[in-house]
Amino acid sequence: MLINLHDYEAAAEARMEPGAWAYYSSGVGDEVTLRANREAFARIRIRPRMLVDVSTCDLHTTVQGIPVTMPILIAPTAAHCLAHPEGECATALAAGEAGTLMTASTSATRSLEEIATAATGPFWYQLYVDHPLEDLTDRSFSESLVRRAEAAGYRAIVVTVDAPRFGVKEREERAQFEMPEGLSMANYPGDLETEPASLTWNDIAWLRSLTSLPIILKGILTAEDAVLAVEHGVDGIIVSNHGGRQLDCVPASIEALPEVVAAVNGRCEVYMDGGIRRGTDVLMALALGARAVLIGRPVLWGLAVDGADGVRRVLHLLRDELEQAMALSGCSTLASVGAALVKLP
């Protein structure tokens, strides 16, 4: 019986090929940050209030003006077809049916147009800014992705800013993972070899010149960068350490969240990903100032277990746990979830 996200993790591992599981589950280096993303939640305490009418709890909110039924979104993750043949299309279907929003990855195994066609709800597009290996100044491919995303109906561009190069995942290397034959990153032309571009703050203006869509930066961990993000006119920040897959020994996302929220001071929306496994985790993040959280690996677990139905079930489990946590802590609305609800270590 699968009754929580941890159950889905175990079931997904049992179903997946070991190399693919290592690709999904591994962190960089000694995986200090990968573990910290979970361990940090265990050090936070909830301060529940009593004698509040919680006969109903309203979880509805908006993100960049888009209505969603819960403050739980789907984070961008690569290669969903490793988990299920329908891949990102199944995920997009489930997200809309659950009343929330999916962020599609540049490194998807279905094209961004296919994902948009399958979607039953709103969707954002995550952009890796790449350049062809033969011309390190050429951004035309990334520009084409932005144009395609806009044309396909994506509602925001989520720029991953913590990947000027990709972290080395040693567990993945030991598993000798290679993309299975017949499976590829569908948004890349077969003959195009690229590598990540080293972005600077000047590139935010370049991106703004390409699109009128909201621009959200994913991978901010410090107050200093949060201030710069606001000064450069971004519409949102995702506090994230890339699921512990880039630089090891950085703070857990939930640890970095308060200083980013304080630095932003309401000037743009702040979200968080990293280690969310329980409704109480979501509640803590909201109390510390996140407008919503994003989940990555748990979505892949649900997909591996039961396709779109598994993704939908994972989302509903987490939503129900959040509603229960709100009721038991005396919060009938998201607006009533504030900093006084938690005690930090």
- Residue listed under structure tokens 């971004």: 234
In the prediction, which pLDDT does 192 show?
67
pLDDT of residue 134: 67
Q: Where are the domains of the chain?
A: 5-178+194-333
The residue annotated as part of the active site, out of 6, 232, 242, 316, is: 242
In the numeric block, which tokens belong to residue 17?
A: 């090929």
Does 316 participate in catalysis according to the annotation? Answer: no
**17 within 8 A of 83, measured Cβ to Cβ:** no
E strand segments, 82-235: 102-104, 123-127, 130-132, 157-160, 194-196, 215-220
- How many C-beta neighbours within 10 Å does residue 55 have? 7
Strand partners, 218: 160, 238
**317-341 exposure pattern, b = at least 16 Cβ within 10 A, e = fewer:** bbbebbbebbbebbbbebebbeeeb
- Taking only the tens of pLDDT, the chain with its 345 residues reads 999 999 999 999 999 999 999 999 999 999 999 999 999 999 999 999 999 999 999 999 999 999 999 999 999 999 999 999 999 999 999 999 999 999 999 999 999 999 999 999 999 999 999 877 767 678 888 999 999 999 999 999 999 999 999 999 999 999 999 999 989 999 988 766 677 888 899 999 999 999 999 999 999 999 999 999 999 999 999 999 999 999 999 999 999 999 999 999 999 999 999 999 999 999 999 999 999 999 999 999 999 999 999 999 999 999 999 999 999 999 999 999 999 999 999
Q: How far apart are CA 270 and CA 289, in angstroms?
A: 7
**Packing angle, helices 5-15 and 297-329, rounded to 10:** 170
Nearest CA to 288 out of 256, 333, 243 is that of: 256
331 neighbors 107 (Cβ within 8 angstroms):
no
pLDDT of residue 191: 64
Q: CB neighbours of 266 closer than 8 A, spacing ≥ 6?
A: none
Residue 271 is inside which H or E element, if any?
strand 269-273
Domain 5-178+194-333 grouped into CATH 3.20.20.70: yes
Contact 288, 342 (CB under 8 A): yes
Tokens describing residue 9: 């993790």
